[in-house]
Chains A and B, each alone.
Chain A
Amino acid sequence: MDLKERVCDELQKEVPKGASSTNFNTQHQQKWEDPSSTLDYSTRIEPPFQAFNQTCQTQSLLLCNNQIKVPMQDGSINDLLQQASKIQDWDPSAMLNNLSFLEQKIHQLQDLVYLIIAQKGQVLGRPDELLVQQQQLVTADLTSIIIQLISTAGSLLSSVKQTLSAATTSLGQCGEFGGVVFPSSAQRLNDGVQPQNAGGSKVSEPPNSIDITSNNGNEQNNHIVEEHELKDEEDAEEGENLLPGTYEILQLEKEEILAPHTHFCTICGKGFKRDANLRMHMRGHGDKYKTPGALAKPTKESSSEPTIIKRYSCPYAGCKRNKDHKKFQPLKTILCVKNHYKRTHCDKSYICSRCNTKKFSVIADLKTHEKHCGKDKWLCSCGTTFSRKDKLFGHITLFQGHTPAIPSDEIKVAPAGTSDGATNKVGSVNFNLSSYVSSESEVQSSSMDIKGGIDDAVGYFSPLSFDTCNFGGFHEFPRPPFDDSESSFAFLLSRSCNYSQKSGEE
């Protein structure tokens, strides 16, 4: 996720330099105030956009094919923008400013890539680390370019009806999308994968869920979706009560799902998790963002058409939440997608700092766990902990041979066989073990020994360790009087006294 931060930083650094910032603002304003279209972008397929498809694809292909071919994009971008201009009234001069800024950026990037190539030739034995760094730098630059590009294009699309939040969301997502998808696919393409296929599959799907990027490949995507919808009709009854035809399936790409932010500032590119935070942030960009209208939560206008319910598919092939799965069960919200993907298909990188055992892939899960960590006193012999006793007992009922473990603050009952008489005897010797904790098992055994030692010392009858008992030499018949080691007042009775003691047994 460093990458993302870097991207953002870079954007913050670079964008204000550009002359375009003011223009953006105006365009933005425009977009907000525009009441014209009521359609949800993600759902509609408009004929005018069909034209874009090619351009978009070429663009993406170009991008994928080689990073250095970026300048070629210019034409396509221009095309795109021109096309866009047909739909919407816009300020050409501002757009020009934007484009020239983009051009500059692209040239800079070009230089950088040249430099990299030159370096590559020189130093072959260089550690990969540097290469990676450079790649990342290029990626970041490229990302910022794409964000700029899209936001420029996006500023044209004031017909976006949904809401500001939706718009910014899509922008942000698009940015993320650009930032991560492209480099990765580019890397892959370098390995000789067919550019068309890769580009097609990689690029065409994600925009599906995003308002603005729907420009890029909406039709194609809808195609795919339709196909699946047809397919899904066969096993429709699964999951919710929604009939397969009644909702639209959207599938975000892995990288989008893993993106930390979903709301991006159109001016500086800073990312936010919440639209409200973005709105608060926007105030810093000028007084026009301080109006109550701008700060108010954008209300969803009831559209004339019935809104199609959206459901989400997990991009992981073979997952039950993936639309290709036989018993596909859609996810309800983007948040669901995010959490599902992270929980099921990602490494559990968050480790609880308290117990150092529990791992999570969703940070909220970690936080939830940390609230209860240590309070999970109901422990099963298999190592699973439970916060509630009934849950533990349910677990034990279910699994053969599982038993509740005695809480860890007391000693752990070693399973029969691991502890023998010796451990009890050497208890006191092992005390120092706890100071140099080398391995877990050792710690465990030491803690047990310590406890055993204490028990020996305190216990009135030392646990039945045969050897620690003093009766070794004696047999049943001649039992010395008052030989009990524990009778503290034995000293009061002189051994010479004539009472002979009988066995205490029976």
Chain B
Amino acid sequence: MLSFQSSKNVLSLTEDLLVRIYELLAAESDRKSFRLVCREFRRIDTLTRRHLRVIRIEFLPILLRHWAWGLKSLVLSRATGLRFSGLEMLARACPCLESVDVSYCCGFGDREAAALSSAVGLRELNMDKCLQLTDVGLAKIAVGCSKLEKLSLKWCMEMTDLGIDLLCKKCVDLKYLDVSYLKVTNESLHSIASLLKLEVLGLMACPLIDDVGLQFIERGCPSLKVIDVSRCEGVSSSGLIFVVRGHRNLLELNAGYCLSELSTALLHQMKNLNHLEVIRIDGARISETSFQVISANCKSLVEIGLSKCLGVTNMGIMRLVSACINLRVLNLTCCHSITDAAISAIAYSCRSLVCLKVESCNMITEKGLCQLGSFCLLLEEIDLTDCCGVNDKGLEYLSRCSELSCLKLGLCTNISNKGLSYIGFNCLKIHELDLYRCTGIGDDGLEALSNGCKKLRKLNLSYCNEVSDRGLGYIGRLEELSDLEMRALHKITGVGLEAVAVGCKRLADLDMKHCEKVGDSGFWALAYYSKNLRQINLSYCGISDMALCMVMGNLSRLQEAKLVHLSNCTVEGVELALRACCVRIKKVKLFAPLRFMLSSEILEILHARGCIIRWD
């Protein structure tokens, strides 16, 4: 290395230049390659790293040793065994910490919150689904981290109005607050209304809030830009009228599944929302004239969600897109009366369209896709699930959208390997592909896919019966793959699974229900290689006792397992496997009769460790 440094090469660059180069690397995988070049490069990474996402928590201490001092952002999502003493040390070791994500950490409770609250500089905190967290923990955070600007409390089911009230009084700088799914009442909204800087408020599926609470919001939260009241049972259009009336500068209004109808009164108020960029009114009845009102007034609309809306017609969509040419996201899921005419109008008007969801719009054919492929070249995401009209020709047109990253083709039985090869050849940025029940797809299609779509992270191959071990071999080339669903692939064996396990190092979620032919060799490989596996579904597989124990015991990140109908497993085998993973497993699905056959001891251990058992 030293000899290289003397000569003119990349290492002769000064440190700050290297840092600048490093900062230009956007993708995580590129950064990884960078720091694996040499020690010097790794040092650059160490110096500049401000963000850390920890997948295997046991490595946290050693990682922190490298990066603790400048670390600003830390993602500890889904970490098991995260305890207060560790968090306390973490908070002290990282004085610059500004953002922490502890979402889905089962062990995160009040004491952990108390420990974390010593990180006084914290600005962003995500505590989604920290089920043990109560008002007390929130109070600790609220008092300790008074600079908090962004806080998410989704699914923290123990939270009550008291905690929210205290939070609103102590953290007056809050800009983002998400209390979705909480059992908070209008009292909380009263407190929230006093937050002068609040811009984003998430109230999704809060069953106890209603129009009276939204009246507080009308008078408060002067900076409010985004509000989400979707799935709030108590909210009606009059509540939304309050919100709209009080906040003329609203940018985003999410009212999905809480309106039965887009009433004229609400529409009348919405005329004033000239800056509105996003509106979602999923599930509401909407008339053609409403579209005209929206398009006439909300010219800056970027996203509209009309999923399952009744009354969405070609004419309505045409009126909408005639003025709203900036539309980038359009959700028309289950708007069955949409045809190619509407798609053509969309494609023609909205050239910057990024996302289009037309699931279950059966009347769309390759003509519509042709228009999309011709005009919407920025398209990144398209959902064509259950659109029977999509065929290979359509995919060929669609493949012209080279920015495509998410493609859903579930239940499109008319596509074949040929169609997929267009995608694999042109759409190199795809990271999510859904081929659920695309029975026309086989190994050749996957070969084309694996050649082109190297960025693929999520793949659904369920019920694609033609896929065999060879196809899985191609899948194994997808190093980025983290999520693989391959239910009922009757042709695959242990060889295919081994190829996947060896190749897809980042595999975190594997569903191989009903893959009956896979033998123990495949599972052994899984146990050896797939150290990042988090969820696994082995139901109806022919796994043996020993392999099950291996898989369950050796995969140290495993949190959820579905183990129903394991024909080759004995009760003792399952018991042993459960013992092997009991310290980390959070959710397990078992065959119901096992309830009485497993020892009560193991069931108690699982219960005591907070593992949820579902009996099937």
Docked-complex contact B556 and A411, CB < 8 angstroms:
no
Docked-complex contact A502 and B505, CB < 8 angstroms:
yes
Q: How far is the CA of A218 from the CA of B47 in the complex (A)?
A: 90
Nearest Cβ on chain B to A430's Cβ, whole angstroms: 14
Q: How far is the CA of A486 from the CA of B53 in the complex (A)?
A: 21
Docked-complex contact B528 and A493, CB < 8 angstroms:
yes
Chain A, 407-466, CB within 8 A of any chain B CB:
410-411, 413, 415-416, 419, 421, 424, 452, 455, 459-466
Q: Which of A402, A461, A492, A497 contacts B553 (CB 8 A)?
A: A492
In the complex, residue of chain B having the shortest beta-carbon distance to the beta carbon of A469: B61
Docked-complex contact A465 and B553, CB < 8 angstroms:
no
Does A114 touch B at the CB level, under 8 Å? no
Docked-complex contact B90 and A464, CB < 8 angstroms:
yes
Docked-complex contact A403 and B139, CB < 8 angstroms:
yes
Between A and B, how many residue pairs show CB distances below 8 Å?
A: 151
B interface, over-half SS = helix
Nearest Cβ on chain B to A198's Cβ, whole angstroms: 55
Given contacts A413-B111, A502-B505, contact A488 B139 (CB under 8 A): no
Chain B, 159-184, CB within 8 A of any chain A CB:
162-163, 165-166, 169-170
Q: How far is the CA of A425 from the CA of B246 in the complex (A)?
A: 57
Docked-complex contact B118 and A416, CB < 8 angstroms:
yes
Docked-complex contact A424 and B85, CB < 8 angstroms:
yes
Residues of A within 8 A of B84 (CB): 413, 463
Q: How far is the CA of A59 from the CA of B369 in the complex (A)?
A: 117
Docked-complex contact B55 and A421, CB < 8 angstroms:
no
Residues of A within 8 A of B54 (CB): 505
Does A401 touch B at the CB level, under 8 Å? yes
Docked-complex contact A411 and B143, CB < 8 angstroms:
no
Q: How far is the CA of A482 from the CA of B550 in the complex (A)?
A: 12
Docked-complex contact B162 and A493, CB < 8 angstroms:
no
Nearest Cβ on chain A to B38's Cβ, whole angstroms: 11
Docked-complex contact A464 and B60, CB < 8 angstroms:
yes
Given contacts A459-B81, A502-B505, contact A487 B139 (CB under 8 A): no
Does A406 touch B at the CB level, under 8 Å? yes
Given contacts A406-B136, A460-B583, contact A501 B531 (CB under 8 A): yes
Over the window 32-67 of chain B, the binary record of Cβ atoms lying under 8 Å from chain A Cβ atoms (1 yes, 0 no) is: 100000000010000000000111111111111110
Over the window 81-104 of chain B, the binary record of Cβ atoms lying under 8 Å from chain A Cβ atoms (1 yes, 0 no) is: 111111111111000000000000
Nearest Cβ on chain B to A364's Cβ, whole angstroms: 30
Given contacts A390-B162, A463-B85, contact A488 B580 (CB under 8 A): yes
Docked-complex contact A492 and B549, CB < 8 angstroms:
yes
Nearest Cβ on chain A to B95's Cβ, whole angstroms: 12
Nearest Cβ on chain A to B13's Cβ, whole angstroms: 23
Q: How large is the interface on A (under 10, 10 to 19, 20 to 34, 35 or more residues)?
A: 35 or more
Chain A, 379-407, CB within 8 A of any chain B CB:
389-390, 393, 396-397, 401-404, 406
Does B110 touch A at the CB level, under 8 Å? yes
Given contacts A460-B583, A461-B80, A499-B529, contact A393 B553 (CB under 8 A): no
Q: Which of A421, A471, A487, A499 contacts B556 (CB 8 A)?
A: A487
Residues of A within 8 A of B55 (CB): 504-506
Q: How far is the CA of A24 from the CA of B275 in the complex (A)?
A: 96
In the complex, residue of chain A having the shortest beta-carbon distance to the beta carbon of B117: A403
A interface, over-half SS = loop
Docked-complex contact A505 and B143, CB < 8 angstroms:
no
Residues of A within 8 A of B170 (CB): 397
Does B469 touch A at the CB level, under 8 Å? no
Docked-complex contact B529 and A413, CB < 8 angstroms:
no
Nearest Cβ on chain A to B4's Cβ, whole angstroms: 18
In the complex, residue of chain A having the shortest beta-carbon distance to the beta carbon of B553: A489
Q: How far is the CA of A410 from the CA of B83 in the complex (A)?
A: 14
Over the window 462-506 of chain A, the binary record of Cβ atoms lying under 8 Å from chain B Cβ atoms (1 yes, 0 no) is: 111110010100101000001011111110110001010111111
Nearest Cβ on chain A to B251's Cβ, whole angstroms: 31
Does B419 touch A at the CB level, under 8 Å? no
Q: Which of A397, A403, A476 contacts B169 (CB 8 A)?
A: A397
16 A–B contacts from the bound complex (CB under 8 Å): A406-B111, A406-B114, A452-B85, A461-B81, A461-B86, A465-B85, A466-B61, A474-B62, A484-B58, A486-B556, A487-B553, A488-B553, A489-B580, A492-B554, A501-B531, A505-B63
Starting from the known contacts A466-B61, A476-B66, 9 additional A-B residue pairs (CB-CB under 8 Å) come to A403-B140, A406-B136, A455-B83, A460-B80, A462-B81, A474-B62, A484-B556, A493-B550, A504-B58
Interface residues of B (CB under 8 A from A): 28, 32, 42, 53-66, 79-92, 110-111, 114-115, 117-118, 135-136, 139-140, 143-144, 162-163, 165-166, 169-170, 505-506, 528-529, 531-532, 549-550, 552-554, 556-557, 579-580, 583-584
* Complex A-B, nearest 4 residue pairs according to Cβ-Cβ distance, in ascending order: A489-B553, A461-B81, A464-B86, A463-B86
